[in-house]
Structure 1
């Protein structure tokens, strides 16, 4: 009878020790194989103020990584974004990630973006980026906002500044839509 009780105790302790080892190993792997390399690669880029990495999304899915990058004042958002993507590609090749740019936006800058986002979406659909840039420049001048627009084959980059506050928006160009090549 005493031997049966010992087996249960030993089995329970073994189970708890195994679970603790697995959980601890997962935490260490996450820190040293995922978070630290991303932090080191991204933090070394000029214009990056801070980096935070999250493995869980809103649905509790840990397959995708969310990388929050707080930017200081940036001269060229397109160039910086390309540097970020290249650094992340070097460090974290197989896993999908979502890059979230954090800035010092104000309600006034958000309102300005709302006033131009129709032009941006129209340009994504039609490919008429010249009209988009002209529309943004005209609205920026009347709103007292300094706006810079960059376009490449994957994204549209909007950099809006008023005073010391900046707002950065990266809009993906969906190449599956009609009118966009």
Structure 2
């Protein structure tokens, strides 16, 4: 009879060791195969203040997208910066999908201004009339005393808004099927 209890103890210890090895392996893989190459890539990009990468076990099991939170400081050209980031992620990612979340120094006033121009952006995406969109946004920016820069790329519209030392950066996908920046 005491022999059966001994087998349960060995089974439980083996299970605990197996789980520790599996979770430790996942942690090491996330750190050395995902986080370190991405962090090294971001060190060479001007305009990026800090980067944090979500842990893979926080992601849903069916979703292999890795969330990258990027804190931006003063950016001269959001389109160039965003394309440099996505090109770099494609090179180091090895086919992995990334969801880029931009962190900036937005204020409620900048957010309200963005909501006032959001309809102009969506209308331009639908109609393709980006020149009119830019004129409308510049007129609204002048009255709100917000400095704006709008860039239209093949896949996205890049909107930079600054007022004083605060800035808000938004990337709006031109195709509703694309994932954008939040």
Q: What TM-score results when the alignment is normalised by the length of structure 2?
A: 0.90
Partner of 1:75, secondary structure, is coil
Alpha-carbon shift at residue 62 of structure 1 (Å):
5.5
Matched, 1:165 2:166: yes
Aligned to 2:17: 17
1:156 and 1:171 in contact (8 A); partners too: yes
Moved more, 132-141 or 8-17: 8-17
Task: Give distance in 2, aligned partners of 1:61 and 1:97.
Answer: 14
Which residue is equivalent to 2:42? 42
**Residue 167 of structure 2 aligns to a residue in which SS?**
strand
Cα RMSD (Å) of the superposition?
1.7
Gaps in structure 2 of 5+ consecutive residues: 178-182
Structure 2 CA distance, aligned partners of 1:93 and 1:148?
Answer: 33
2: CA distance, partners of 1:60 / 1:103: 29
Report the equivalent of 2:145. Answer: 144
Q: How many equivalent pairs are there?
A: 175
Alpha-carbon distance between aligned partners in 2 of 1:44 and 1:32, rounded to the nearest angstrom: 19
Q: Which whole-Å CA distance do the structure 1 matches of 2:11 and 2:63 have between them?
A: 30
Is 1:107 the equivalent of 2:108? yes
Rounded Cα–Cα distance in structure 1 between residues aligned with 2:112 and 2:134:
18
Q: Which runs of 4 or more aligned residues in structure 1 lie more than 6 Å from their structure 2 counterparts after TM superposition? A: none
Alpha-carbon distance in 2 for matches of 1:72, 1:156: 20
Matched, 1:3 2:3: yes
What's the secondary structure of 2:137's corresponding residue? Answer: helix
What is the deviation of 1:75? 0.5
Which sits farther off after the overlay, 27-36 or 126-135? 27-36
Report what 1:91 is aligned to.
92
Aligned partners of 1:20, 1:62: CA distance in 2, in Å?
24
For residues 54-108 of structure 1, the C-alpha deviation after alignment (integer angstroms, 9 at most, x for no partner) is 1335x68662211000001000000000000011111113221110111101111
Distance 1:98 1:151 in 2: 20
How far off is 1:44 after superposition? 2.2
Q: Residue 99 of structure 1 aligns to a residue in which SS?
A: strand
**SS state of the match for residue 16, structure 1?**
helix
DSSP 3-state at the match of 1:13:
helix
Deviation at 1:175, TM superposition (A): 7.1
**Residue number in structure 1 paired with 2:180:** none
Cα distance in 1 for partners of 2:122, 2:140 equals 16
